């Protein structure tokens, strides 16, 4: 049961986000710090789109909300790793600022999505 009309633009945007993170990771220096931070980022960022797709197939509003909150948590974690990259200057000239900006935009979208889902659930 779909609680929200399918949002193909958000499905596409989260997929593009994952692909950008994969590209970012592939261009990182092969230093231990960059690789450890990069793997953490890769795990969290690429799970966002998967969790959102799962939310689209949810069986209840509670399930939709839970999966959407999971995606939001992964976005928050991704923002943290990107902030570490930027602050430590571990990834110079790799587009970390643009990725961080996109992450924060996605956080904002998912915060709104979760808030609406919770309101709808409370009204049911």
Mean pLDDT of 3-22: 85
**Which of 122, 98, 113, 111 has its CA nearest to residue 23?**
98
Q: What is the pLDDT of residue 123?
A: 82
Q: Report the first-to-last Cα separation within the chain, whole angstroms.
A: 15
Q: Break the chain into its structural domains and give their ranges.
A: 8-123
Mean pLDDT of 26-48: 96
Q: What is the pLDDT of residue 6?
A: 56
Q: Cα separation of 107 and 103, whole Å?
A: 6
- What's the pTM value of the predicted model, to 2 decimals? 0.90
Under the phi-then-psi rule, with left for phi > 0, alpha for psi from -120 to 50, and beta for the rest, what region is 49?
alpha
Residue-wise pLDDT for 57-99, tens only, equals 989 889 999 999 999 999 999 999 999 999 999 987 779 999 9
Tell me yes or no: is domain 8-123 CATH 1.20.1440.60.
Answer: yes
């Amino acid at each position: 049961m779909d609680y929200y009309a399918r949002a193909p633009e958000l499905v596409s945007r989260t997929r593009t986000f994952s692909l950008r993170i994969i590209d970012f990771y592939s261009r990182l220096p092969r230093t231990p710090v960059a690789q450890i931070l990069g793997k953490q980022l890769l795990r969290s960022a690429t799970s966002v789109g998967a969790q959102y797709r799962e939310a689209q197939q949810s069986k209840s509003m509670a399930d939709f909300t839970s999966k959407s909150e999971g995606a939001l948590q992964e976005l928050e974690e991704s923002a943290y790793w990107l902030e570490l990259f930027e602050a430590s200057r571990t990834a110079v000239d790799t587009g970390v600022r643009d990725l961080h900006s996109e992450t924060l935009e996605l956080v904002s979208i998912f915060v709104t999505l979760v808030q609406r889902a919770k309101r709808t659930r409370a009204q049911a």
